[in-house]
Structure 1
Amino acid sequence: MYNVSASLRADWLDLIDRVGEALARDGAPVSLRAVDPGEGADALHAFWHRDDLLLSQTCGLPLVRGLAPHVRLIGTPRFDVPGCHRQRYRSALVVRAGGPKSLADCRGARAACNGPDSHSGMNALRHAVAPLVEDTDGGRFFSEIVLTGSHLASLAALGNDDADVAAIDCVTLAFAAEHHPELVAGVRQIGFTRPVPGLPFIASRRASVALVRRVRAALRSVLHDSPDLSARLHLGDVVRSTVADYLPIASMEREAQLRGYAQLA
C-alpha cells in the first residue's frame, strides 16, 4: 500500500524475502513468494481474497465493509512519521500554498480523492467535512470531486491546479516528501483527520491462527534485526490487532451518514 517509488518497492520486496527466510528457519511449512496483484481496485480486491495469501496489506475501509470474514489480521504496523502515534495514523488535510486556511474555508473548492473505497482519502475526509455541511448546501460541500487513483496523483492534482484540497495518508505524505519532494513543495497542511489504526497486514482466512502468529513474529524479528531497512520503511513494529480495533472506521462512515453526508460531494 506504500509502494510509491522504485527504491521503496525494492525495500518492501526485501522485507517479504526476509520474512520468508525467517519462516523457513522457523520450520514453517510454507513458501513465501511476492506476487504483483495487478492494476486497479478490482485486481487488488481479488488479490486480497486469494486462498494462498499469506502477507499483504489492506485499507481499513474495505476491511470493515466486507473483507474481514475472508482474512486473518496479522497485525497493525507502527510507522514513525508525523501524524502517527504508536499503531494509529491520520490523514493530513492539505491545500496549495496560499490556498484556504482551514477546512471550513474549502467550501465550494475542488477536492482530490484517491478512490471511493479509501479510508484515508475519502472516508476520513468525508467525516471531517460532515459537520460543516449545512442544510442549504443540498448535501454538497465541494464544487467538484476529482478522483485521481492514488495519493501521489492527488498531490499532483493540487500542484497542477486541478484540485484545491485533499486528505493524504500521513505515511504516504512522509514517503512523498522523501521520494517525490516536488509533489509536496507547494503544499501546505491545514489539519489532520481523526486517528484510527493503521493499514493492517493480512493473510487469507485459510491460513491457520498459528501460522499467522508465526508470520507476525517473523515480521517483528526482521524489523528488529534489520535497522537500516526498518528506518527506510519508517516501520518500527507490527502489533497484534483484531477487526474490532478497526470498527471506528465504520463509525466514522456512519457518523457522516447520520449528518446527511453519505457521499463525499
Structure 2
Amino acid sequence: MTAPVASLGMYDHPGQRAANDALWLAIARHLRGAGIAAPDVLDRDRPVEAIWRDPDLLLAQCCGYPLVADPDLALRVIAMPLYALPDGPAGLHYSRILVRADDPAATLASFAGRRAAINAPLSNTGANLLRAAVAQVASPDGFFGATIVTGSHRASIDAVACGQADIAAIDAVTAAVIARDEPAALIALRELARTPTAPNLPFVTARTTPPAIVAALRQALLAAMRDPDLAPARAALLLADIVPASIHRYRRLRRLSP
C-alpha cells in the first residue's frame, strides 16, 4: 500500500467523532510500532461507499449486506465488534422500525401501501432487515407504496418525523446513540416493531491486504479494546469488544432478501 486509507464512518455521529479519532490514533500507533504505515487521520472527505472501494484501504467498517451482495466489493473481513446494547444479543444487531408517535397503525402489516424511508438500497439495517421484517407478514415485493432514499439513518428519522415518509428501519446502535446525544430527534417517533437480527457491522480491509497486515490489524483492534485509557472513547461508541471474524459469518444476509 502506497497511501493507506482508514475510515470509521459507519458510526461517526457528531458526538462520536472525537472518540473515533482517539480510537484510530491508538490503532495507528500500534500499527506503526509493528512497522506498518498508517494514515494520521480518518478519511471523512468521501462517502464510505467510495472508501470501501479504495485499493489502498487499510481499515474501515462496512455494512454487512453490500459485503455479500455486491460482487465488485473486494474486501476482507478482519473482525466483528460487540456493542453494549442492553437488549442486543451478543454479536448481533437489529433495526428499530420507527413510525410517528401519532400514527394510529398498530402493526407492520398496516403499513402496506405507505411510504418507507431507507438510508441506502444496499443497507442491511435500513433496507435488507426491513424487507426481512415485512416478509414475515406479507410479500415484500411492492409492499410499500413508495420508497425514498435519504442517504443516512439520521435523515430517515427526520423524514418520518416531518411526514415525508411513514416508516423507517433504524440501526439499533445508531438509534441508541441518537437517543443519548439528540433525544429531541426521536420525540415525535415510536417503535412499531423490531427487525430480525444480523451480525454486527464488520471491520474490513482491502482484499489485497497481506496476511501479516491483517493479523496486525486484528492485534491493534484488540489492543484498543483492552486499553484502559480508551474506556471513554469505547463508551461513546458503545463498543464492548471485538472478535475475529471472516466473510462466512455474513453470507446468511443474502437469505434475508427475496
- Scaled by the length of structure 2, the TM-score of the pair is 0.88
Distance, in Å, in 2 between the alignment partners of 1:200 and 1:241 is 8
1:62 and 1:79, CA in 2 relative to 1: closer, same or farther beyond 3 A? same
Q: CA deviation at 1:17?
A: 0.9
Q: Which residue of 2 aligns with 1:185?
A: 187
Amino acid at match of 1:59: C
1:163 and 1:140, CA in 2 relative to 1: closer, same or farther beyond 3 A? same
Q: Which residue of 1 aligns with 2:207?
A: 205
Q: Which residue of 2 aligns with 1:18?
A: 26
1:73 aligns with 2:77: yes
* Structure 1 alignment gaps of length 5 or more: 257-265
**Secondary structure of 2:176's partner?**
helix
Q: Deviations over 1:166-218 (max 9, x none)?
A: 10000110111112211111211122111111111111122222221221221
Q: Which residue of 1 aligns with 2:153?
A: 151
Distance, in Å, in 2 between the alignment partners of 1:208 and 1:201 is 16
Count of matched residue pairs:
246
1:34 aligns with 2:41: yes
Counterpart among 114, 130, 149 of residue 135 in structure 2 = 130
**Secondary structure of 2:102's partner?**
coil
Q: Cα RMSD between the aligned structures?
A: 1.9
Distance, in Å, in 2 between the alignment partners of 1:140 and 1:60 is 24
Contact kept? 2:96, 2:170, Cα under 8 Å: yes
Distance, in Å, in 1 between the alignment partners of 2:111 and 2:142 is 12
1:107 and 1:69, CA in 2 relative to 1: closer, same or farther beyond 3 A? closer
1:13 and 1:229, CA in 2 relative to 1: closer, same or farther beyond 3 A? same
More deviation in 97-106 or 109-118? 97-106
Q: Which residue of 2 aligns with 1:48?
A: 52
Distance, in Å, in 1 between the alignment partners of 2:68 and 2:42 is 24
Q: CA deviation at 1:61?
A: 1.2
Q: Which residue of 1 aligns with 2:11?
A: 2
Q: CA deviation at 1:37?
A: 5.4
Contact kept? 1:68, 1:243, Cα under 8 Å: no
Contact kept? 1:83, 1:92, Cα under 8 Å: no
1:194 aligns with 2:205: no
Identity %: 33
Q: Which residue of 2 aligns with 1:167?
A: 169
* Structure 2 alignment gaps of length 5 or more: 1-9
Counterpart among 219, 239, 244 of residue 235 in structure 1 = 239
Distance, in Å, in 2 between the alignment partners of 1:88 and 1:151 is 18
Q: Which residue of 2 aligns with 1:91?
A: 95
Amino acid at match of 1:133: A
Q: Deviations over 1:212-234 (max 9, x none)?
A: 12212211211221212111111
Amino acid at match of 1:11: A
Contact kept? 1:64, 1:246, Cα under 8 Å: yes
- Scaled by the length of structure 1, the TM-score of the pair is 0.86
Q: CA deviation at 1:31?
A: 2.3
**Secondary structure of 1:54's partner?**
strand
Contact kept? 1:75, 1:241, Cα under 8 Å: yes
More deviation in 11-20 or 222-231? 222-231
Contact kept? 1:8, 1:233, Cα under 8 Å: yes
Q: CA deviation at 1:51?
A: 2.4
Contact kept? 2:24, 2:42, Cα under 8 Å: no
Amino acid at match of 1:212: V
Q: CA deviation at 1:56?
A: 0.4
Q: CA deviation at 1:32?
A: 3.3
